[in-house]
Protein backbone atom coordinates (compact mmCIF):
# COMPACT_ATOMS: atom_id res chain seq x y z
CA UNK A 1 0.00 0.00 0.00
CA UNK A 2 1.47 3.23 -1.14
CA UNK A 3 1.05 6.21 1.20
CA UNK A 4 0.89 9.68 -0.22
CA UNK A 5 2.40 12.72 1.34
CA UNK A 6 -1.11 14.20 1.66
CA UNK A 7 -2.34 11.19 3.70
CA UNK A 8 0.77 11.38 5.87
CA UNK A 9 0.17 15.08 6.59
CA UNK A 10 -3.53 14.47 7.33
CA UNK A 11 -2.70 11.66 9.76
CA UNK A 12 0.04 13.66 11.44
CA UNK A 13 -2.20 16.72 11.70
CA UNK A 14 -5.00 14.71 13.28
CA UNK A 15 -2.62 13.14 15.79
CA UNK A 16 -1.07 16.45 16.79
CA UNK A 17 -4.42 18.27 16.85
CA UNK A 18 -5.98 15.54 18.98
CA UNK A 19 -3.13 15.66 21.45
CA UNK A 20 -3.58 19.42 21.80
CA UNK A 21 -7.38 19.38 22.09
CA UNK A 22 -7.83 16.36 24.36
CA UNK A 23 -6.08 17.86 27.43
CA UNK A 24 -8.22 21.00 27.08
CA UNK A 25 -11.32 18.85 27.60
CA UNK A 26 -10.34 18.20 31.21
CA UNK A 27 -10.77 21.12 33.60
CA UNK A 28 -7.70 21.47 35.77
CA UNK A 29 -7.70 24.54 38.02
CA UNK A 30 -4.74 26.81 37.52
CA UNK A 31 -2.13 26.93 40.25
CA UNK A 32 -2.45 29.80 42.65
CA UNK A 33 -0.45 32.96 42.05
CA UNK A 34 -0.04 33.98 45.68
CA UNK A 35 -1.45 31.41 48.08
CA UNK A 36 0.23 28.15 48.97
CA UNK A 37 -2.02 25.09 48.56
CA UNK A 38 -2.39 24.92 52.37
CA UNK A 39 -3.38 28.59 52.62
CA UNK A 40 -5.81 28.15 49.73
CA UNK A 41 -7.46 25.13 51.41
CA UNK A 42 -8.01 27.16 54.57
CA UNK A 43 -9.27 30.23 52.71
CA UNK A 44 -11.62 28.14 50.57
CA UNK A 45 -13.16 26.69 53.75
CA UNK A 46 -13.60 30.18 55.25
CA UNK A 47 -15.16 31.53 52.04
CA UNK A 48 -17.50 28.54 51.84
CA UNK A 49 -18.72 29.34 55.38
CA UNK A 50 -19.46 32.90 54.25
CA UNK A 51 -21.32 31.86 51.08
CA UNK A 52 -22.12 28.16 51.44
CA UNK A 53 -23.45 26.00 48.66
CA UNK A 54 -26.99 24.77 49.23
CA UNK A 55 -29.57 24.46 46.47
CA UNK A 56 -27.55 27.25 44.84
CA UNK A 57 -23.79 27.37 44.22
CA UNK A 58 -21.48 28.73 46.89
CA UNK A 59 -18.15 30.53 47.05
CA UNK A 60 -16.18 27.49 45.89
CA UNK A 61 -18.38 27.00 42.82
CA UNK A 62 -17.95 30.68 41.92
CA UNK A 63 -14.15 30.45 42.15
CA UNK A 64 -13.89 33.09 44.88
CA UNK A 65 -10.43 31.81 45.86
CA UNK A 66 -9.19 32.62 42.33
CA UNK A 67 -10.62 36.13 42.59
CA UNK A 68 -8.86 36.78 45.90
CA UNK A 69 -5.65 35.15 44.67
CA UNK A 70 -5.62 37.27 41.50
CA UNK A 71 -6.47 40.52 43.28
CA UNK A 72 -3.86 40.01 46.02
CA UNK A 73 -1.25 39.94 43.26
CA UNK A 74 -2.64 43.18 41.80
CA UNK A 75 -4.94 45.83 43.28
CA UNK A 76 -5.01 44.18 46.74
CA UNK A 77 -1.24 43.78 46.95
CA UNK A 78 -1.25 45.73 50.21
CA UNK A 79 -3.12 42.79 51.81
CA UNK A 80 -0.46 40.17 51.04
CA UNK A 81 1.10 40.31 54.51
CA UNK A 82 -2.34 40.43 56.11
CA UNK A 83 -3.38 37.22 54.34
CA UNK A 84 -0.09 35.43 55.07
CA UNK A 85 -0.11 36.30 58.75
CA UNK A 86 -3.88 36.08 59.19
CA UNK A 87 -4.18 32.60 57.69
CA UNK A 88 -1.18 31.42 59.72
CA UNK A 89 -2.68 32.83 62.94
CA UNK A 90 -6.07 31.32 62.11
CA UNK A 91 -4.49 27.87 61.71
CA UNK A 92 -2.36 28.22 64.88
CA UNK A 93 -5.42 29.20 66.91
CA UNK A 94 -7.52 26.48 65.35
CA UNK A 95 -4.86 23.86 66.18
CA UNK A 96 -4.55 25.24 69.71
CA UNK A 97 -8.27 25.57 70.42
CA UNK A 98 -9.77 22.76 68.31
CA UNK A 99 -6.84 20.38 67.83
CA UNK A 100 -6.94 20.36 64.02
CA UNK A 101 -6.65 22.56 60.95
CA UNK A 102 -9.60 24.82 60.13
CA UNK A 103 -10.58 23.02 56.93
CA UNK A 104 -10.73 19.69 58.81
CA UNK A 105 -13.42 20.95 61.21
CA UNK A 106 -17.09 20.21 60.65
CA UNK A 107 -19.11 23.06 59.16
CA UNK A 108 -20.71 23.80 62.55
CA UNK A 109 -17.27 23.94 64.20
CA UNK A 110 -15.96 26.20 61.44
CA UNK A 111 -18.87 28.61 61.90
CA UNK A 112 -18.36 28.57 65.68
CA UNK A 113 -14.66 29.35 65.22
CA UNK A 114 -15.39 32.18 62.77
CA UNK A 115 -17.89 33.66 65.23
CA UNK A 116 -15.11 33.67 67.84
CA UNK A 117 -12.87 35.47 65.35
CA UNK A 118 -15.58 37.96 64.49
CA UNK A 119 -15.98 38.85 68.17
CA UNK A 120 -12.24 38.63 69.00
CA UNK A 121 -13.30 36.07 71.67
CA UNK A 122 -11.01 33.51 73.29
CA UNK A 123 -8.35 33.78 70.61
CA UNK A 124 -4.76 32.85 71.41
CA UNK A 125 -1.79 35.19 71.16
CA UNK A 126 -1.22 34.31 67.49
CA UNK A 127 -2.70 37.53 66.14
CA UNK A 128 0.28 39.91 66.17
CA UNK A 129 -0.34 42.16 63.16
CA UNK A 130 -4.08 42.03 62.58
CA UNK A 131 -7.05 41.52 64.86
CA UNK A 132 -9.10 38.38 64.17
CA UNK A 133 -12.29 40.39 63.54
CA UNK A 134 -10.53 42.74 61.10
CA UNK A 135 -9.09 39.78 59.18
CA UNK A 136 -12.45 38.01 59.09
CA UNK A 137 -14.17 41.17 57.81
CA UNK A 138 -11.52 41.51 55.10
CA UNK A 139 -12.24 37.96 53.95
CA UNK A 140 -16.00 38.69 53.99
CA UNK A 141 -15.48 41.76 51.79
CA UNK A 142 -13.27 39.93 49.31
CA UNK A 143 -15.55 36.88 49.25
CA UNK A 144 -18.57 39.02 48.42
CA UNK A 145 -16.64 40.85 45.71
CA UNK A 146 -15.47 37.55 44.21
CA UNK A 147 -18.96 36.06 44.28
CA UNK A 148 -20.97 39.04 43.02
CA UNK A 149 -18.39 40.89 40.91
CA UNK A 150 -17.68 40.65 37.21
CA UNK A 151 -16.10 37.32 36.16
CA UNK A 152 -13.30 39.19 34.37
CA UNK A 153 -11.79 39.89 37.80
CA UNK A 154 -11.31 36.20 38.55
CA UNK A 155 -14.45 35.17 40.46
CA UNK A 156 -18.15 34.64 39.74
CA UNK A 157 -17.28 31.69 37.48
CA UNK A 158 -19.88 31.12 34.76
CA UNK A 159 -21.85 34.15 36.06
CA UNK A 160 -23.08 32.02 38.97
CA UNK A 161 -24.32 34.90 41.11
CA UNK A 162 -25.95 36.66 38.17
CA UNK A 163 -27.86 33.51 37.25
CA UNK A 164 -28.76 32.92 40.92
CA UNK A 165 -30.18 36.45 41.15
CA UNK A 166 -31.95 36.08 37.80
CA UNK A 167 -30.14 38.97 36.16
CA UNK A 168 -28.32 39.09 32.86
CA UNK A 169 -24.77 40.19 32.42
CA UNK A 170 -24.68 43.82 33.61
CA UNK A 171 -24.51 46.38 30.84
CA UNK A 172 -21.27 48.33 30.83
CA UNK A 173 -21.20 51.84 29.40
CA UNK A 174 -18.49 52.25 26.80
CA UNK A 175 -18.41 48.64 25.67
CA UNK A 176 -21.16 48.86 23.04
CA UNK A 177 -23.50 46.63 24.98
CA UNK A 178 -26.35 49.11 24.80
CA UNK A 179 -28.52 49.01 21.72
CA UNK A 180 -29.18 52.19 19.73
CA UNK A 181 -27.94 54.54 22.42
CA UNK A 182 -30.70 53.84 24.95
CA UNK A 183 -30.51 51.81 28.17
CA UNK A 184 -33.34 49.48 27.14
CA UNK A 185 -31.26 48.00 24.44
Q: What is the pLDDT of residues 48-66, one digit of tens each?
A: 999 898 888 888 888 899 9
| pLDDT score for 49 | 95
CB-count exposure of residue 104 (10 Å: 0-12, 13-18, 19+): middle
Range of the domain at 65: 37-159
Average pLDDT over residues 148-155: 76
Residue 89 inside a domain? The answer is yes
CB-count exposure of residue 81 (10 Å: 0-12, 13-18, 19+): exposed
Residue 178 inside a domain? The answer is no
Residue 124 inside a domain? The answer is yes
Number of domains in the chain: 1
Q: How far apart are CA 102 and CA 43, in angstroms?
A: 9
Average pLDDT over residues 76-88: 95
| pLDDT score for 177 | 47
Phi, psi of 62 (to 5 degrees): -80, -5
Amino acid sequence: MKSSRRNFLKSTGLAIGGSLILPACYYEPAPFRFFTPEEADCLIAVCECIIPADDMPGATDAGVIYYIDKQVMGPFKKFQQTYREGLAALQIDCMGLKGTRFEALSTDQQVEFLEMMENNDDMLESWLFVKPAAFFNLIIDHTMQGFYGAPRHGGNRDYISYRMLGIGYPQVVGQNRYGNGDSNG
